[in-house]
Structure 1
Amino acid sequence: MHVLTLSFEVEPRPASPLDQRARTRRDHDLVVSEGEVPEPHQRVAAYALVTSARGVLMTQFSDRTNAEGRWGLPGGGIDDGEAPVLAVVREAWEETGQVIEVSELALIRTSHWIGRAPTGRLEDFHAVRVVFRAVCPEPTEPVVHDVGGTTASAAWVPPIDLDRLDITSSWRSLLSDVVVTPDQADGSDHREHDTDDDDRARPQP
């Protein structure tokens, strides 16, 4: 009988790009006490890039967020059992007083990091943003109906002025993916294909 002996030399497999992306980032100024464990928290929210003859609809974050005074798109958390499209229509009305018509899904963006909520709670936070394109056929002067919430004010902003607006870095990155061009700010239903700082702008628990 012949015995065949095989010898193998092994070494750890280098991390793949996917492994690198899967690493959870942390807030740059995060200080964690000994024994403190982050609580898992997931938030799924719907937003809209709303255009009209008056420009792009933007909302300013209130002091109930970690982005007070800065700007982003209208939208917010999806209620239990609520369709994302209906959620963003509701949120647009609550935050800006505008009646919008959703035209298409623009993109879905996720972010995952460890940081502190506005309450100071340490969280392992997973944010899922469902972003639609929408139009407002009859734009009016924006009014915040959800007083005391996460929106301090709202405004129609001409596309050429977006670069001068203090938009959070995560929303600035997203807006670069959902391309805003002057011809998109006329309220038309466009169908072209789409050529994270912090998502802590959310209600306190």
Structure 2
Amino acid sequence: MRIVCVSTPGGAELFASRLGHGEDPRLAVWQHGLSLARPIAAFRDGEDIVLTVQGAPHSHGVLRTRRPRGLDPDAEVRPGEVPQVRQRIAAYSIVASRRGLLATQFSDQTHVPGQWGLPGGGVDAGEEPTETIVREAMEETGQRIEPVELVDVQSDHWIGRAPNGVLEDFHAIRLVYRADCPDPTDPVVHDVGGTTAGACWVPWSELRRTRWTSGTRSLLDRHL
């Protein structure tokens, strides 16, 4: 992934650089003497994803980013085993409708079975991130959604085992969009047997009582 920082949407470029493995986009901006004011857009440029953000001067205060989780305590590492380095860019959506907020439940193939999150997944080769959220919403919930805007970017870094058993030095970058669903229907999981066990519309009155993952709850606290 490449990151481009501008002064205002459509304004002058302040810097452009490649996001290193395990590097938080906010830290990349901070190291140039700026704060990440807000993400603006993400688009595909050949085999790369370019993230454009708005930067603003910072006052050298405390930068709050996610700390690398290090080695997963449940991952048993064999002597001499070297983790494979992997950076995964994914896109998720906060989908609103008259029926509530669209949610997906994690299956037992994940580390958080039974908890709830947002529809989304990895950006496929040749795919725009906005295409990813439309496709994933259909596969995981059966809903037709319309992207509105990019609202957040998250970074997480740890060493652990993938579902296939491979030990990975894993850097997850999550692009989070706001989206609408003009014609909500009863959710149906089409991608059966994967990481999604169920899907539903969570009524607005039930948001606080839903068992969200910690990352999802922090996103909803910021953007709803």
TM bucket (normalised to shorter chain) is: 0.7 to 0.9
Q: Does 1:84 align with 2:148?
A: no
Letter in 2 for 1:61: F
Instruction: Name 2:185's counterpart in structure 1.
Output: 140
Q: Does 1:35 align with 2:100?
A: no
User: TM-score when scaled to structure 1?
Assistant: 0.72
Which is greater in Rg? 1
Q: Does 1:116 align with 2:184?
A: no
Letter in 1 for 2:204: P
After superposing the two structures, state which structure 1 stretch, 58-67 or 69-78, moved more.
58-67
The answer to whether the 8 Å contact 1:49/1:133 transfers is: yes
Q: Does 1:46 align with 2:91?
A: yes
Q: Alignment RMSD, CA only?
A: 2.2
Instruction: Work out the CA distance in 1 between the residues paired with 2:68 and 2:188.
Output: 41
Residues 93-108 of structure 1 aligned to structure 2 (within 5 Å): 93-108=138-153
- Deviations for 1:6-45, whole angstroms, at most 9, x for unmatched residues? xxxxxxxxxxx88x97766232444433222111112111
User: TM-score when scaled to structure 2?
Assistant: 0.67
SS in structure 1 of the partner of residue 192 of structure 2: coil
Instruction: Work out the CA distance in 1 between the residues paired with 2:98 and 2:134.
Output: 19
Over 4 Å off, 4+ runs:
20-24
Identity of aligned residues (%): 59
Structure 1 residue 83: Cα displacement: 0.5
Structure 1 residue 117: Cα displacement: 1.6
After superposing the two structures, state which structure 1 stretch, 87-96 or 167-176, moved more.
167-176
Q: Can you give the 5+ residue segments of structure 2 that lack an aligned partner in the other structure?
A: 1-61
- Deviations for 1:46-89, whole angstroms, at most 9, x for unmatched residues? 11000000100000011222222111000111110100001100
